Amino acid sequence: MKIKAGEVEETVKNIMNRYLTGGEIEPNEFEYIKKYSRYLRNYKFIKR
């Protein structure tokens, strides 16, 4: 599955915004973030 530049960042930002405002995250969305976290090193919430 091909991903356009910026698409991952947008999706992850949307998911994280929902998470940080107390929303629910689906397991597949969590897997998505874990899968693409190596592309997102500059995001603070990925770093543990």
Confidence of residue 2 (pLDDT cuts 50, 70, 90): low
Higher pLDDT, 45 or 38: 38
First vs last Cα of the chain: how many Å apart? Answer: 28
Does the pTM exceed 0.85? no
| Interatomic CA distance for residues 40 and 45, integer angstroms | 9
State the residue range of the domain holding 17. Answer: 1-48
Contact 8, 36 (CB under 8 A): yes
**Count of domains for the chain:** 1
pLDDT confidence of residue 46: 47
Higher pLDDT, 19 or 46: 19
